[in-house]
Homo-oligomer: A and B are copies of this chain.
Amino acid sequence: MNGRFPIEMHIMTLLCTADDYLSSDYMAGSINVNPVLVRKELSNLIKHQLITSREGKNGGYTLSKPATSISLASIYQSIKQGNVLGQAKNQPNPACPIGKQINNHLKDLDNEIEQAMLNKLGTTNLAEFCNKFD
């Protein structure tokens, strides 16, 4: 796993608690990662319509809708890639009866588990998450 979800959650929390547009450099300073990496996540969040941006001087980013209608599942969905339970690089041996079928069965299992995660993430929205902060 990489740090994309924590970074996106950090971005969304900052935007949720801010009362004006925030710049990528400001957010990078709070998260403490490279500003370009933050801007890549911001691009991704825009693509998924969770935030909007304003270019030029005094530009920045803001939530595209009320925090109460942004579920943590939708944030997770925006970064999800591959299998939650991991995936091996190599194809199992197709000459082996187990090897031939296991990827399908593991994929089914992965889908089930991912659904359970999403269900749980879907029970909390961004506003509720931000309320945990003093």
Instruction: Enumerate chain A interface residues (CB-CB to B < 8 A).
Output: 1-7, 9-10, 13-14, 17, 29-33, 72, 76, 82-93, 96-99, 101-102, 105-106, 108-109, 112-113, 116-117, 119-121, 124, 129, 132-134
Contacts and interface: CB of A to CB of B under 8 A. Distances in A.
Nearest to A7: B88
A76 B72 contact: no
Given A113-B117, A120-B112, A98 B13 contact: yes
B30 A90 contact: no
A17 B98 CA distance: 9
A132 B102 CA distance: 9
Contacts of A29: 93, 96
A116 to B, nearest CB: 4
A87 B1 CA distance: 7
B134 A102 contact: no
Contacts of A30: 92-93, 96, 98-99
Contacts of A14: 98
